[in-house]
Structure 1
């Protein structure tokens, strides 16, 4: 195989790691096919491979509405997975619980912080509502037990 049959490319992944990969430009030919065409490895000039090209992650966007589903408009979108894709960018996999839409977005630091604040506020509101419902259910249970005790509906054999 000669240097003309492949090139080396440098791939830069979102986490910053880099890998040099060999990319084949055309299918490799067998030695018999090369000799049939009259070309041998000894008769070719050695070419210097071009420098590797760089493949970069897309630039981050400043999407203030990343927490809203583009398919159904729900504001309940939350991140399922995330990873740093640059010094000030994050790649997030977002999921909408209403329509099951999943999408990957690359956000800048400000957008991620905005989304994080919205998620925190929503989690706090959800926790307050859960506490309110639990308290109301507990009060209803206590009222029913007190009413049953007053009516002598609870006996020692119930325990």
Structure 2
């Protein structure tokens, strides 16, 4: 009986591992990007203007793992928002001031220096201030989305000056 249970347990574990590909299977080949290889372009339209982004791996607009770096200029801010999936953020350079809640309050932010790591569960309202040029890395499962607490803060809802 114990032998039969052990065989069933082993088969179950093997099935679980074969059902979901490993990260190595998803990558396909070894890849190295040096800092000079990164090409920053305008950040997604869902973020306030002024930031730049570089996708290091995957595609944030599609299902699956992605890695993206965001370069925020001095004075940049991201109003209160949330994400439908967990967001993992690492500070590469500069400093990010991260706050929780539906209203941006500079007095209650936590300063994240280079090397800091944050994981934000889905649906948790948060916001960020950048008092100096800062590069953060965002790792997550796509498609990446951002939902602003106040729709007026969403850059996609703002009318371009030429259209006013």
Q: TM-score range by the shorter chain?
A: under 0.3
The TM-score normalised by the length of structure 1 is 0.18
The TM-score normalised by the length of structure 2 is 0.18
Determine which structure has greater relative contact order: mean sequence separation of CA pairs < 8 Å that are 6+ residues apart, divided by chain length. 2
Which protein has the larger Cα radius of gyration, Structure 1 or Structure 2? 1
Structure showing the higher strand proportion among its residues: 2
